[in-house]
């Protein structure tokens, strides 16, 4: 049977505009293309896992507005279980404006919504024991703590997506985290001024069993349970749109952990998914299927398995 992954946290409605290049000063630009698609870190991770053949569920909060309905419908259309997605009367859903240039780089302006209640009391935590892994971002820390507490009690692996501005709940969450996957900015905020190996060691000391950091085209660096610093190189591709690539990595990595792949294999699996996403425009629309991923890996046998590096 397909592995079951629960993803909790941020869902948004993205408005994406493609331009030729970012101007040196604020001006009026004509977009080459414009479209609307679901976004958000954990929500995109859930879609990535579903596209890859996992049984994905998304738990989060939306408003009772048009954006919220579009978010819910988009997830459901991808085969993601949305029974844990709470629609809150009177709340405003999260939305983003994303500007992408011809090199695939992007500028994101996000409104995180209003009136999205923090209380996790409505979460269906009784379903956690039947999951193969859970993933959470930090946009709803109260929900993440409830999810990870239930997962730890049930022996279900936990994967934490740690972006910039981690907030005051990070220490409590790390104590419940099996796999802490930082962005470079997020890791820098955990251990300001420290080199990557030292910062990852700080995350391990804070409670994470395995601590890693995504580095874009440079791949994924992590400190494993034996205190060895290991590196999964990125796959060299021509980037068209990097929107959602980090979220795709997290979703693929968490699904691999749910499938009981070892960490090195999970890192390579996720790096390939993120690279393939970067070759396609459209944010979440460019996420690959499992068949597409297998074809990509067959054509891109390198980089090889992850390897240890000097700390």
Q: What is the pLDDT of residues 134-162, one digit of tens each?
A: 999 999 999 999 999 999 999 999 999 99
Residue with tokens 């996790």: 120
**CATH number for position 283:** 3.40.1190.20
Angle at 230 between CA 228 and CA 235, to 5 degrees: 175
> Does residue 14 form part of some domain?
no
> Does residue 96 form part of some domain?
no
> Does residue 101 form part of some domain?
no
* Predicted structure pTM score: 0.92
> Does residue 33 form part of some domain?
no
Q: What is the pLDDT of residues 159-186, one digit of tens each?
A: 999 998 888 899 999 999 999 999 999 9
The pLDDT value given to residue 311: 43
> Does residue 279 form part of some domain?
yes
End-to-end CA, the chain: 39
State the total domains in the chain.
1
> Does residue 18 form part of some domain?
no
> Does residue 104 form part of some domain?
no
> Does residue 196 form part of some domain?
yes
What is the domain extent for residue 84? 4-8+41-91+119-308
pLDDT band at 197 (very low <50, low <70, confident <90, very high): very high
Coil, strand or helix at 124: coil
Whether the CB-CB separation of 41 and 249 falls below 8 Å is answered with no
């Amino acid at each position: 049977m397909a592995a079951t992954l629960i993803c909790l946290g941020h869902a948004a409605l993205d408005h994406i505009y493609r331009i030729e290049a970012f101007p040196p000063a604020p001006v009026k630009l004509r977009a080459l293309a414009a479209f609307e698609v679901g976004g958000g870190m954990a929500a995109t991770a859930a879609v990535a896992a579903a596209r890859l053949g996992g049984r994905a569920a998304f738990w989060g909060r939306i408003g009772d507005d048009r954006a919220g309905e579009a978010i819910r419908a988009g997830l459901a259309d991808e085969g993601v279980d949305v029974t844990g997605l709470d629609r809150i009367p009177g709340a405003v859903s999260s939305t983003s404006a994303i500007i992408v240039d011809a090199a695939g780089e992007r500028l994101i302006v996000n409104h995180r919504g209003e009136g999205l209640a923090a209380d996790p009391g409505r979460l269906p935590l009784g379903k956690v024991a039947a999951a193969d892994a859970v993933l959470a971002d930090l946009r709803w820390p109260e929900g993440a703590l409830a999810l990870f507490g239930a997962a730890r009690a049930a022996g279900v692996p936990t994967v934490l997506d740690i972006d910039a501005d981690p907030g005051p709940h990070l220490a409590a969450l790390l104590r419940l985290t099996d796999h802490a996957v930082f962005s470079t900015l997020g890791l820098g905020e955990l251990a300001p001024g420290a080199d990557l190996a030292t910062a990852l060691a700080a995350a391990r000391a804070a409670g994470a069993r395995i601590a890693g950091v995504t580095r874009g085209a440079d791949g994924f660096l992590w400190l494993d349970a034996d205190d060895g610093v290991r590196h999964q190189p990125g796959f060299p591709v021509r980037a068209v749109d990097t929107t959602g690539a980090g979220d795709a990595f997290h979703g693929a990595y968490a699904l691999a952990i749910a499938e009981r792949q070892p960490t090195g294999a999970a890192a390579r699996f996720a790096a390939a998914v993120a690279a393939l996403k970067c070759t396609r425009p459209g944010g979440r629309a460019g996420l690959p299927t499992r068949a597409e991923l297998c074809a990509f890996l067959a054509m891109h046998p390198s980089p090889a398995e992850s390897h240890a590096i000097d700390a």
